[in-house]
A and B are shown apart, each in its own frame.
Chain A
Amino acid sequence: MDLTLHVWRQAGTSAAGDFQTYKAVGINGSMSFLEMLDLVNENITREGGDPIAFEHDCREGICGSCGMVVNGIAHGPHDMTTVCQLHMRSFADGDEVWIEPFRARAFPVLKDLVVERAALDRIVQAGGYVSIRTGSAPDANATPVPKPDADRAFDAAACIGCGACVAACPNASAMLFTAAKAAHLSYLPQGQTERLGRALDMVAVHDDEGFGNCTNHGACQVVCPKGISVDYIARLNRDTIRATLGGVGSPAATAGQ
């Protein structure tokens, strides 16, 4: 099949960007979307042009590196799929495909479709961990964890940090990401001690990074390649409100004591 691509090209963060049109010729239905871009890039390179920059690594939907908005949808038209696992059989001969980077002020474009998502790391730095010293842990079976809790924690922990939730959210909010990390730890006994402070601190950094706020549209849940539920946002809201009204000291505030 042959496709027409309209790809966002931007030389750098401060440069102006624009759409460029490319032909993708002789595309095979069993190619992945990124392999289709590889092919386009090989042609661009051979013709002396600058290949389209896009981030990718594992190409099996787990590393979270890849991500772009395909025809208006983060990671493209398939549910529960990263763009590296999207295959060209989802497209038809003659299709026009618009390819844009994830757009959010907190995700500045570095080049073409590559955006900087370090803001998500900084949200984790604010408290997305259990403060445990290496080698000091008690026996792993010392604290049983009810299976439903372990399963729910896992469902939240399945987040790959790709940022599609931010890309799809009309408010460019990273609340699903933040809530998933907080819920992963708040469902486990190991995560209880720091639970409320964690919620408070992660939400504060989320806001400071320039993400928008959640207005419960649910677009994040629809595009999430791991199907993470917006219900976790309710849990984070509750913990944050409890922490706020209860006046829980945050680890940041009590560090060094």
Chain B
Amino acid sequence: MQLDARIPSGPVEEKWTRRQFDMKLVNPANKRKYNVIVVGTGLAGGAAAATLGELGYNVQCFTFHDSPRRAHSIAAQGGINAAKNYQGDGDSIYRLFYDTVKGGDFRSREANVYRLAELSLNIIDQAVAQGVPFAREYGGLLANRSFGGAQVSRTFYARGQTGQQLLLGAYQALERQIALGTVKMHNRSEMLDVIVVDGRARGIVTRHLVTGKIEAHMADAVVLGTGGYSNVFFLSTNAMMCNVTATWRAHKRGAGFANPSFTQIHPTCIPQGGEYQSKLTLMSESLRNDGRIWVPARAGDTRPASDIPESERDYYLERLYPSFGNLSPRDIASRRAKEMVDAGHGIGDLKNGVFLDFADAIKRLGRDVVSERYGNLFEMYEKITGENPYERPMRIYPAPHYTMGGLWVDYDLETTLPGLFCIGEANFSDHGANRLGASALMQGLADGYFIAPLTVGNYLAEAPRADADASALAAQGVVKEVEARQQLLLGINGSRTVDSFHVELGRIMWNHCGMARNEAGLKKALQEIPQLREEFWENVLVPGSGASLNQSLEKAGRVADFLEFAEVMCHDALTRDESCGGHFREEHVTEEGEARRDDENFAHSAVWEFTGVGNAPVRHEEPLTFEHVPLSQRSYK
């Protein structure tokens, strides 16, 4: 596997400009002769499809939802970063770049991150022009807030629904192109494989979720914007249908998968309520601005919060991190909570959470101020738990939330499979080993609106056209493979439901490849996953047929892919014998219990090559160099 990142030469500030100038262009009159497939309609996919259509390419866009507006980008709450410096507080492109590289714990590519910071300005302009109703000040100008521990106020937001509003902007742009006929939308169509002809991605195979029809769609280039894989843990804050299938199938066809073990855990989610629970709900991190986190000092204490006197409470974040306290970074807050629960200090019926207490804030600010700041979040919490956070502390616990790993891409966002591009959360991204708050929306839109449409154009101008006969033959073969796999799933007729396997896989991954990992646990997981996979293929029960709407069959295909993917995730976590960002190896901690990086041996992205199901994948490395942001240790004491 060749890993050529194709980073343009020159100073970091000029790389993107140079790259754009060096690109080959497609004659405007010829653009509509090129077919481009975009899979996924979230911020990245939706924006890319709309822009490619607008540029004049013939775009086929696919989503497994009933409408392109439902992609999970819609659930992002907090905001989107941009180095606009509208607050005049000393922000700049360079500072955003610096913060992002450092926040990613030095496991991302400087050139890409700089470009991201640069394009953040255009994103806000674009969104406002589309009519995204960002929060404004009384003077009519855009409002900003500080988010996720940033020292400047660079986060733009639309109440707690920033992702929704940005997605609707992209969706509207996409619908406009659909109306103009430049984009053909395929709703309820799930991508199940990539068609490779002569070493290039030339199309995809989809299953229509209502008619069950499996068909090939051919194109000159394929763009995947299919999101992250947090649902490998079964319980996460991701939507129920989020999955790894598109990127995993692409991986099996030759696209390298980078840093799969880099996953992010969000510290403030509502703890699991019972075995039946299907997903976890995130509560905005902003709650930590005024809430105090604590557990009973005595393990096994089951008294209600109100009966525990001050002297018997452990405000552990305030105790351990006197200067950052309850606002310590996501990974640290998450790990400390897990330690408390593991040590028997957990609260709630299942002893699986910690308290987030607003009693002091209410005393200090008054109930009205607290309600003004967090009213909608408190309501949401009460709706879900039936508990009133004004009267008793919230219960919170960390939950999987975002995945920094993904398909490896070069500077042009092209994977190791030529003609296959990957954007948004689906690629291994600019966030390194840890994503900063309000940066996911920024990356998705930068990739979708401003990068992929240009780099795909450059590819089209350079690449040879496909041979029609070879393409037809290849397509036929892949369709047959997909059909055979579906028949296999339907024919097992075992005794366990698909969900029961997913739940079990999730438990293995959460226990051994979750918030904290160690060698023994990962090795255990690498034994358990193949066993579970084997049982799945012998004993799964998928009712119904493939010829109509069959939600069990859809889930079965996705869980089957998770069962393969989970293994490479554990391999990655095992071989990355250091702690960095969201990847925390218990063997590598500083004396203070923080993550200890090993820059000497692991200042690289690990890129995995598929060698067959059950076979050990091959690990490749893309070395990372840091010219602008000096390697340093994070400290939040």
Contacts and interface: CB of A to CB of B under 8 A. Distances in A.
Q: CB–CB under 8 A between A and B in the complex?
A: yes
Interface of A: 11-12, 28-32, 34-35, 38-39, 42, 45-46, 48-51, 53, 55-60, 62-65, 78, 81, 85, 87, 89, 110-111, 114, 116-118, 120-121, 124-126, 128-141, 143-147, 150-151, 153-154, 157-158, 160-161, 184-185, 188, 190-191, 255
Contact of B74 (A53, A58, A78): A58
* B contact residues, range: 35 or more
Given A128-B175, A191-B131, A60 B75 contact: yes
A35 B544 CA distance: 21
Tell which of B50, B66, B172 has the most Cβ of chain A within 10 Å. B66
A190 B122 contact: no
A51 B552 contact: yes
Contact of B543 (A28, A50, A87, A137): A50
A46 B496 CA distance: 7
Tell which of A53, A126, A134, A141 has the most Cβ of chain B within 10 Å. A134
9 contacts: A53-B549, A62-B74, A64-B74, A121-B185, A134-B51, A135-B126, A140-B84, A143-B128, A157-B131
Interface in B237-261: 239-241
Contacts of A34: 278
Contact of A55 (B66, B176, B383, B449): B66
A43 B66 CA distance: 27
A124 B140 CA distance: 27
A254 B47 CA distance: 26
A184 B131 contact: yes
B96 interface: no
B70 interface: yes
Contacts, number: 217
Interface string B151-192: 000000011010011001001110110111000010100000
Nearest to A141: B141
A34 B551 CA distance: 14
B142 interface: yes
Contacts of B499: 38, 42
Contacts of A137: 122, 125-126, 128-129
Smallest CB-CB A-B distances: 6 pairs:
A144-B140, A137-B129, A129-B172, A137-B125, A154-B133, A125-B179
A1 to B, nearest CB: 13
B9 interface: no
A39 B277 CA distance: 10
B548 to A, nearest CB: 6
Contacts of A121: 67-69, 175, 178, 185, 187
B400 interface: no
Contact of B129 (A38, A130, A184): A130
Nearest to A125: B179
B281 interface: yes
Nearest to B67: A121
Contacts of A188: 131, 133
A89 B158 CA distance: 32
B74 A146 contact: no
